[in-house]
Structure 1
Amino acid sequence: MNWKNLSLFVVFSLFSIGSFAQSNLLNAKSASEIGQKSLLDILVKSDGPIPYGQVNDKDVLFGIKVWEKISLSEKANESYYFPIDDTEDSEHKSLFQVLLDGVKSGAITEVYDSSDFKVQRTLKDIEASFVKVDTTDVGIEYLNAGEAVPDEYIDRTELRSSDVSAYHILGMWYFDRNEGQLRYRLLGIAPVVVDIYTKGSENENFVELFWIFFADARDVLYQSYAFNPKNPMNPINFDHLLNSRRFSATIYKADNQYGGRRIDEYIQGNDLQKLFEGERIKELIRNLEDDMWKY
């Protein structure tokens, strides 16, 4: 066995041990011990997400904010969509359920109405956006009679993971002169969901439910894991998944001379041209690092 193969064997062994220890499935002496975390897993998880480094404005030679759409209809993005049927005993949750639970519990507080992060919203403010309560005709008769409406005559509709069509994300590509390389920093994320008041109708409308300042959600995302189809024994937390840009996305807006308008606002009626514009922005970012080194 040469050194290369030996190294790969050691790395794979450590990776496998860490993966199996996560569920304790192979070490359990009884069924009740399945799922118990090892001390190593507990310590690693308690460290939290890797902190972002401090970046001074004067060290940013170039920066551009980019808004992207992560479509959940693409197979590459399935890890953010499934499972759509969330249960309390499930090991995994969809990204939408993780974010919504974080907002409901108060673990995520930096919730805003748009990506400019100026108008903050509370749980009470946004609750009407994902929960709709209607009274049936029979229930209205109870109200008219001055009586309490029984629960069976109240229809409660709440958005689920299956109602999410995409995620909008805002990030910044920048060239850090200290590190001498192009970097990316994720700034915000918004679930795009069917408007609860048009849900089930012929003309369903899709809207941004809310915008979350990403740095505030990192702890919650770090504690929550997405299913890894390539290795189910080694799930990946959402913080790592998003920060490492493990998704397929299209640019729908970027800093521009048109007053910050979206691509579909300054290019209308030509879908192919809109696609080319998004690719042009991507190419600009790809060439940014090379262009900096030429100077």
Structure 2
Amino acid sequence: YGYVDDRDILWSKTTWEIVDLDERVNFPLYYPIDTNNIGSERRSLYDVLVKNIKNGNISEVYADSYFSEKRTLRDIEGSLVYSDTTDLGIEQFNAVGRVDPEYVRRFTLDAGDIEEWRIRGVWYLDKRQGELRYRLLAICPVANEARSKAFPDDGVDAKVELFWVWYPGAREILHKAKAFNRKNTSQPISFDHLLNSRRFNAIIYKDDNVQGDRGVADYINDNALMQLLESDRIKDQIRNIEIDLWNY
């Protein structure tokens, strides 16, 4: 990102948003989920992030959106992989004290398991440029934990935030990775361009406020429609800041 002096920021607001991958407009952030029958140049956003975290190209990975606790590769793999021993494996262990690999079930989260992305960003009014701008700060994949793949009949919604990536530290990687361009397949766009130009639909579920960044669901309970309307109200409030700038 380009340098912006603190003195040039007239107003700012931090928002947390949910990008629902069931919405058609957000499909470029979800697909492809089957990489066996597709070229190596096309990978999902989740696969790009996990691959580069594992090979060390992305190191700024955290447990939450406030960047208070850094996570290692070992911590992340604990969330993405679940191992379970079958009944025959338990019998073998009780008999001989060891378990053969064929008796160990291993479940790994993949791109198809991701249900939504959560992003944190800041809207700010640049008084030098005289316009409202957005800067993405962090991104997080959300999925049911890997254990739910071993016990799919539990019917428990174990949706968790897998990890938070400090977005400015991953921009170079995401600039090289390409997303599918439905309007012109010969000109794919980078994930960095897609995210920074906000070519997706998102719902605000939290913003910075005096109540300790209280989420929308904390003060509007069990009413999805009113939560959506509250999200739209916050969006309008942000949008009107720039409009009101030119009203004398």
Q: TM-score range by the shorter chain?
A: over 0.9
**Contact 2:80-2:146 at 8 Å conserved across structures:** yes
Paired residue for 1:63, among 1, 8, 12?
Answer: 12
Pairing partner for 1:281 from 234, 239, 243: 234
Higher strand share: 2
Deviation at 1:257, TM superposition (A): 2.7
Aligned to 2:3: 54
- On the 8 A contact 1:77/1:248 being kept in 2, the answer is yes
Percent identity at matched positions? 48
Q: Give 1:128 shift.
A: 1.0
1:237 to 178, 190, 199: 190
Output one character per residue of 1:72-91: Cα deviation in whole Å (capped at 9) or x when no partner: 00000001111111249532
CA contact (8 A) 1:182 1:289 kept: yes
Runs of 5+ unmatched residues, structure 1 = 1-51
The code of the aligned residue for 1:275 comes to L
The 5 Å alignment of 1:1-295 reads 52-87=1-36, 89-146=39-96, 148-199=98-149, 200=152, 201-294=154-247
Contact 2:180/2:188 (CA < 8 Å) preserved in 1?
yes
CA positional deviation for 1:204? 3.1
| Equivalent-residue separation in structure 1 for 2:35 and 2:48 (angstroms) | 10
Farther-moved stretch of structure 1 (95-104 vs 132-141): 132-141
Q: Which has the larger radius of gyration?
A: 1
8 Å CA contact retained: 1:258, 1:266 = no
Measured in 2, the distance between the counterparts of 1:193 and 1:278 equals 22
**Aligned residues: CA RMSD:** 1.5
Give the Cα separation in 2 of the matches to 1:163 and 1:276.
Answer: 28
In structure 2, the residue corresponding to 1:121 is in which secondary structure? coil
Report the TM-score, using the length of structure 2 for normalisation.
0.93
- How far did residue 253 of structure 1 move? 0.7
Deviation, 1:189, is: 0.3
Query: What displacement does 1:149 show?
Result: 2.7
Measure how far apart 1:214 and its partner are.
0.3
Cα distance in 1 between the residues matched to 2:23 and 2:107: 27
Offset of 1:293 from its aligned partner?
Answer: 2.7
Distance in 2 between the 1:250 and 1:63 partners?
19
1:283 maps to amino acid: D
Bigger mean CA deviation after superposition, 64-73 or 86-95: 86-95
Aligned with 1:294: secondary structure? coil
What CA distance in whole angstroms lies between the structure 2 residues aligned with 1:233 and 1:124?
39
Following superposition, the deviation at residue 294 of structure 1 comes to 3.0
Amino acid in structure 2 at the alignment position of 1:242: L
**Bigger shift: residues 203-212 or 87-96:** 87-96
Q: Which amino acid aligns with 1:57?
A: D
CA deviations on 1:63-104 (whole Å, 9 max, x unpaired) are 000111110000000011111112495321111111111111
Runs of 4+ aligned structure 1 residues displaced above 4 Å come to none
CA distance in 1, matches of 2:145, 2:98: 29
Higher RCO, 1 vs 2 (CA within 8 Å, ≥6 residues apart): 2
Contact 1:110–1:213 (CA under 8 A) maintained in structure 2? yes
CA apart distance, 1:193: 0.7
State the 1:281 CA deviation. 0.6
Q: Residue 85 of structure 1 aligns to a residue in which SS? A: coil
Q: Which range moves more in the overlay, 169-178 or 148-157?
A: 148-157
Paired residue type of 2:164: W
